[in-house]
Amino acid sequence: MEQGHIGGGHATFAPGQDVIYTDLAPSLMYGGTTGYVAGSDTSEAHAKSEVEKAPTKQKTVLDVIHTASIYGCTSAEVEAVTGFKHQSASSSIRNMELDGKLAKTDMIRNGQHAYVTQYWASQMDPDTLLPPNPRRESYKKKYDALRSSILDVAEEMAKDHDNVGRSIFWYGRLARLLNDL
């Protein structure tokens, strides 16, 4: 048995066997939840209910991935072993990846990257480990920002309605906004 640290928690490792965790808090990397669609009441309510399940689900996912050693597991492989739905497995993996408990590898199986625990990652060639994907800006945020920018331009156009010669200027501003999508 070896002692180690995973994402701020303590663990005992028996290679090829389950990890015995102590002091391991769930990874809640999206505003204290596992993630949700901002502005959706049902999504936010579901995220709050998932917080209660996160410790058990994440420990199960971590155990499965750790047991796979340096070969790791893809989300589909975790789903097959645990019976979790895709969203539960991928959300657990993503939250633990962002929290430093899992590392993405350059291994791809069936179009998905395999993930390993930090214990196994520490024994691998660093060139085979990939950084987490950056967090994406939500489409709702992009839409709201675009809408706000277009309204700002429209208000400026309304104030400048007497100057017909500036229509090409306003067209250019709107075209740039739309091209930045």
The answer to whether 114 touches 130, Cβ cutoff 8 Å, is no
- Nearest residue to 24 via CA among 4, 12, 10, 3: 10
Tell which CATH classification among 1.10.3110, 1.20.120, 1.10.10, 1.20.1510 matches the domain 2-130.
1.10.10
Q: Which pTM value belongs to this model?
A: 0.62
Contacts of 148 (CB under 8 A, 6+ apart): none
Contacts of 95 (CB under 8 A, 6+ apart): 26, 27, 28, 29, 30, 34, 35, 54, 58
Each domain of the chain, given as residue ranges in start order, spans 2-130, 139-179
Q: Is 37 helix (H, G, I), strand (E, B) or coil?
A: coil
The answer to whether 75 touches 90, Cβ cutoff 8 Å, is yes
In this structure, of 54-58, 68-72, 175-179, the range with the lowest mean pLDDT score is: 175-179
Per residue in 91-105, pLDDT (tens digit) is 889 988 988 899 999
Per residue in 135-171, pLDDT (tens digit) is 666 667 777 887 788 878 777 776 776 776 677 777 7
Residue 40 has pLDDT above 90, yes or no: no
Rounded Cα distance, 41 and 62, in Å: 30
Give the pLDDT mean for 2-24.
47
The answer to whether 35 touches 91, Cβ cutoff 8 Å, is yes
Rounded Cα distance, 59 and 125, in Å: 25
Please provide the DSSP assignment of 8-28 as one string: TEEEEE-TTS--EEES-----
